[in-house]
Amino acid sequence: MATSNSVETPVARSRSRGGLARGSAWRGVRRNETLAGYLFLLPNFAGFLVFSLIPIVAAFGLTFTDWNLIGERRFVGLENYRTLLADDLFWQTARNTLYYTFGAVPAGVFIAFWLALLLNRNMRGVVFFRTIFFLPHVTLTVAIALVWAWIYHPELGLINYGLERIGINGPRWLQSTTWAMPAIIVMSNWKGIGYAMLIFLAGLQAIPQDLLEAATIDGATWFQRLRHIVVPLLAPTTFFILVTSFIGAMQAFDQFYVMTQGGPAYSTTTLVMYIFQNGFQWFQMGYAATVAMVLFASIFAITALQWKFGQSWVYGNEGAE
């Protein structure tokens, strides 16, 4: 935000000079620039209007209707919301989504942090290692999900083979109501940790080195430097990663669809999958939109909450610096 002002200063100066010299011509230029400004925005803005703004309003409107996509659209008032509150399946998918989110995100961010610490050094081959950990993030989720479905195969899979070698009879992973969700959490973190790691690395590299050196000279141990310098200075980065990871996890779909199709017994049906099923398998557009609105509200609430807590947490530490 601050940058926009710094750019404007020289322009404003040159403008007023031109304005003085040419008088009314200046106003013409100005109007021209306004027009150009809007015209350059137009393609993007039209796209947003049609593909974001209008749909979100339409989605809200749909929550008050009952519609199977082909037949007549019926206004039902708050019926969908009443149904939702009494819908056990909805509550289960909401719980599943929270289970997944809170199972995956904190652990993933924690591991990513330590990995970034380990990789933040001038060492031969360090770029190679970074690439290894980052690689899963750029690969096709569907392909990766298929690979992990094969790894989790109850009879032929690599994991149960490994477990058998050390004398453990492995569970039926993706076919087990208990183990399917943890299995997907592990897979998702394997795929996603590289991204958080890279952001942590960027944050680590922005920490002023003299601060760490001064602390070392003062006799601070490695752990003290970590706790009192690195972690506080990294707080904004951590905060950013947490917020984006939470938002992402709440919308998880691909790996669930490929690995379990939401089963067994709806134990891995997430909210997005429930929207998908209601809308495109059961053709209850109104109800699907209602679930979507709840998802929207939850993501909004989580973000707002994190901002509220994050603000004091992040800036409190900055003030101490």
Partner 1 sequence: MSQHNLPNDRGRAINTGDVLAWLLLSVLGVFWLMPFLWMLSSSLKSLAEIYSFPPNLLPEQLQWWNYIDAWNAVPFARFFVNSVIVSVGTTAGVLLTSSMAGYSFSRLRYPGRDKLFLAYLATMMVPFPVLIIPLFILMGRVGLVDTLIGLILPAAFSAWGTFLMRQFMLSIPREVEEAARVDGASYWRIYAQIILPLCKPVIATLGIFTFLGSWNEFLWPLIMISSVQNKTLPLGLTMFQGQAAVETPWQLVMAAATFSILPVLVLFVLGQKYYVRGIATTGVKG
Q: For residues 104 and 115, which CB has a smaller minimum distance to partner 1 in the complex?
A: 115
305 half-sphere exposure, CB direction, 13 A CA radius = 9
Stretch of residues binding partner 1 (CB under 8 A), selected from 20-28, 75-83, 86-94, 222-230: 222-230
Q: Which of residues 55-114 bind partner 1 (CB under 8 A)?
A: 55-56, 58-59, 62, 69
DSSP state of 173: G
Q: Is residue 303 near partner 1 by the rule CB under 8 A?
A: yes
Least distance in Å: CB of 225 to partner 1?
7
Q: Is residue 118 near partner 1 by the rule CB under 8 A?
A: yes
Q: Is residue 164 near partner 1 by the rule CB under 8 A?
A: yes
Q: Is residue 199 near partner 1 by the rule CB under 8 A?
A: yes
Q: Is residue 119 near partner 1 by the rule CB under 8 A?
A: yes
Stretch of residues binding partner 1 (CB under 8 A), selected from 83-91, 93-101, 172-180, 209-217: 209-217
Stretch of residues binding partner 1 (CB under 8 A), selected from 82-90, 102-110, 135-143, 174-182: 135-143
Of positions 17, 22, 28, 52, contacts partner 1 by CB under 8 A: 52
DSSP state of 229: I
Contacts for 84 with CB less than 8 Å, ≥ 6 apart: 90, 287, 290, 291, 294
Q: Is residue 295 near partner 1 by the rule CB under 8 A?
A: yes
Q: How is residue 231 written in tokens? A: 């972690």
Q: Is residue 155 near partner 1 by the rule CB under 8 A?
A: yes
User: What is the size of the binding site for partner 1 (CB under 8 A)?
Assistant: 109
Of positions 8, 74, 224, 308, contacts partner 1 by CB under 8 A: 8
Which of 142, 109, 98 lies closest to 298 in space, CA to CA?
A: 98
Least distance in Å: CB of 215 to partner 1?
10
Q: Is residue 38 near partner 1 by the rule CB under 8 A?
A: yes
Long-range contacts of 316-321 (CB under 8 A, 24+ apart): 317/232, 317/233, 317/235, 318/232, 318/235, 318/236, 320/232, 321/232, 321/233
My answer on whether omega of the bond before 232 falls inside 30° of 0, hence cis, is no
DSSP state string for 91-146? HHHHHHHHHHHHHHHHHHHHHHHHHHHHH-S--TTHHHHHHHHHHHHHS-HHHHHH
Stretch of residues binding partner 1 (CB under 8 A), selected from 44-52, 80-88, 94-102, 176-184: 44-52
DSSP element (H, E) containing 277: helix 271-280
Separation in Å, CA 104 to CA 89, 115, 239, 299: 22, 16, 16, 16
Stretch of residues binding partner 1 (CB under 8 A), selected from 74-82, 88-96, 100-108, 192-200: 192-200
Of positions 78, 135, 168, 265, contacts partner 1 by CB under 8 A: 135
Q: Is residue 25 near partner 1 by the rule CB under 8 A?
A: no
Q: Which of residues 225-244 bind partner 1 (CB under 8 A)?
A: 225-226, 230, 236-237, 240-241
Q: For residues 17 and 95, which CB has a smaller minimum distance to partner 1 in the complex?
A: 17
Of positions 84, 109, 144, 183, contacts partner 1 by CB under 8 A: 144
DSSP state string for 174-212? GG-TTTHHHHHHHHHHHHHHHHHHHHHHHHHHTS-HHHH
